[in-house]
Chain A
């Protein structure tokens, strides 16, 4: 394949590397393994031990894990060159799937979790075919509106969604009765999402995605079925959003139309950006940083939201390629 990858594309796989031909090179595979093990260690050993006696901070970390699952999905969309501001819609779909199935049909949460992801992915596949034809800002605008559409649909969903009153009293799930267990499940989901994303990015599909990001028309002219691949990307991305939503519905034991708004879609996008779009770990870093920063700023009360906004702009201006790019030496364009 004679595609001319840009430098940033090469770096896109630098942390979890892949060669130009799409096959992981053995030496770099070991690096990837090392990173994965380090990540697993951080998630399953360091954090639980560090936060052992503090169930509240453990639940904050649980939230960060769940949200990073959704952010990792968005990373896949960025890898095909699309800015998706509609992830909250699919989190809502996943959340309501879990809520309805557990409260009305008594299904076990463990079954509902993959079902939530599937429902979101299926919906995305159906909607994706028409809306992915839109490009650039048009696509972004319509995903923004997708979040609102979902909220309004849930509000007016009658007996199915219970309207503004939402669905409350989601029963506790078997085996999930302590904050630590919730945390471990969320960490497992985050690890799963990260590995899945990396595997896709390192595979042949990943190279197809990257070529589409470069130039969709060119890729099409080379015989790539861009329609099929972008729907795949959208379905995968949204499926991860649904997974996050399903988990969060169980951990909060309720869900309302107000739970997922446009600002949540924007938050998912921000977690992705802030970590750095060139790295698969970016969304995880971004989610952890922003979620913890928000809680830590609580002491500042009135100024919390304001400082959060200023922080955002400062990082965008000073570190436009994301925080993980800080370790990189500066290269001119």
Chain B
């Protein structure tokens, strides 16, 4: 019981970083970042090389992952999404492009990093015992860092000028444009931060579950599940979604065979969405 609780906490916290990233991008730019899982994966590889191969401090790996993947996000927005927004007749093209970027990133990663699954040693060694639960020190670290990051991000979005601009764009794009805010710049920054969060999550979790070039789709699927539970485009909703998924996974893996766990989660999600299509905190469909 305590083990499930602890595992759930760790998973929820790290998943929340993923969910926040994709929510940010969706709320500001109305684009569903299909490449979010691939960005997570690239972040993981960055940490693998910096920390696992070059033996630099883990923190450096985290920073490189965040900035590197964030840069990729900005690049995607400037090179691809901006163009398609202006050129296409149909809005479906944004989704098509998002899928295309996922494919591109995954194949580039396969090419650059190879196909083997990689892992890194724990950042901190040792196991704590609390009751009947084992609390590996490495996981406590992941939990702590994730929570700190989420808090920092929330403060940023609430407190800073850019953060307020992002919230304004998310609320009402046209009005914000009329008020003189540089939407293009905000979009690029938003995509950059969202992507950076994905990369950061990937770097954090490489100590937990390793990284391989093909893991992107699974992570993207989890991100989708979280925002469907919580409500797309709503920050609080994404956090809620992360908590629900994290604990559902922890409980599921403890009690059910592996592939059945996610089958149950998906079915429960479908049933839930039938009852409440907009998620827990999403805006109701007009």
Contact = CB atoms under 8 A, between A and B. Distances in A.
A275 B108 CA distance: 25
Interface in B68-95: 80, 83-84, 87-90, 92-93, 95
Contacts of A135: 277, 285
Interface stretch (B178-186, B191-199, B266-274): B266-274
B158 to A, nearest CB: 26
A306 B273 contact: no
**Size bin of chain A's contact surface:** 35 or more
B249 to A, nearest CB: 14
Contacts of B262: 148, 152
Contact of B266 (A148, A277, A310): A148
Q: Which 4 residue pairs across A and B have the least CB separation, nearest first? A: A152-B263, A130-B274, A309-B107, A320-B88
Contact of A306 (B80, B84, B88, B111): B111
Contacts of B225: 145
Contacts, number: 123
A313 to B, nearest CB: 5
Given A155-B259, A277-B92, A333-B89, A134 B273 contact: yes
Q: What is the predominant secondary structure among interface residues of chain B facing chain A? A: helix
A182 interface: no
Determine which residue in A135, A145, A217, A270 has the highest number of CB atoms from chain B within 10 A of its CB, and name it: A145
A156 interface: yes
Given A83-B95, A263-B217, A308 B107 contact: yes
B228 interface: yes
A269 B106 contact: no
A133 interface: yes
Interface stretch (B97-105, B143-151, B167-175): B97-105
Given A135-B285, A312-B100, A316-B97, A153 B107 contact: no
B93 A320 contact: yes
Contact of A313 (B90, B104, B232, B273): B104
Nearest to A262: B217
A262 B217 CA distance: 8
A320 B277 CA distance: 31
Interface string A301-333: 011011011101100110011000000000001
A302 B106 CA distance: 14
Interface in A118-166: 130-131, 133-135, 137-138, 140-142, 144-145, 148-149, 152-153, 155-156
28 contacts: A78-B92, A83-B95, A131-B273, A138-B273, A138-B278, A142-B270, A144-B221, A144-B224, A145-B225, A145-B270, A149-B270, A152-B266, A155-B259, A156-B260, A262-B217, A273-B93, A303-B111, A305-B107, A306-B107, A308-B103, A313-B80, A313-B97, A313-B100, A313-B104, A316-B93, A316-B96, A320-B88, A320-B89
Contact of A321 (B90, B95, B227): B90
A255 B60 CA distance: 47
Contacts of B263: 149, 152-153, 156
Given A135-B285, A273-B96, A310-B104, 11 more contacts: A130-B273, A134-B277, A140-B32, A140-B95, A141-B32, A152-B266, A266-B103, A269-B96, A269-B99, A306-B107, A310-B107
Interface string B250-286: 0000000101101100110110011001100000011
A227 interface: no
B110 interface: yes
Nearest to A331: B89
A313 B34 CA distance: 14
A306 B60 CA distance: 30
Nearest to B279: A138
Contacts of B228: 138, 141-142
Contacts of B285: 135
Interface in B198-249: 217, 221, 224-225, 227-228, 232
B83 A317 contact: yes
A29 interface: no
A259 interface: no
Contacts of B99: 266, 269-270
Contacts of A134: 273, 277
Nearest to A317: B83
B90 A277 contact: yes
B253 to A, nearest CB: 14
A83 B32 CA distance: 13
Contacts of A320: 84, 87-89, 93
Nearest to B225: A145
B267 A149 contact: yes
A194 to B, nearest CB: 21
Interface in A202-252: 217
A320 B80 CA distance: 11
A8 interface: yes
A135 B228 CA distance: 12
A305 B110 contact: yes
A308 B270 CA distance: 33
Given A144-B224, A148-B221, A313-B100, A273 B259 contact: no
Contacts of A156: 257, 259-260, 263
B274 A138 contact: no
A225 to B, nearest CB: 18
Contacts of B106: 309
A79 to B, nearest CB: 12
A156 B286 CA distance: 39
B266 A149 contact: yes
Contacts of B227: 141
Contacts of A8: 89-90
Contacts of A321: 88-90, 93
Interface string A263-286: 100100110010001000000000
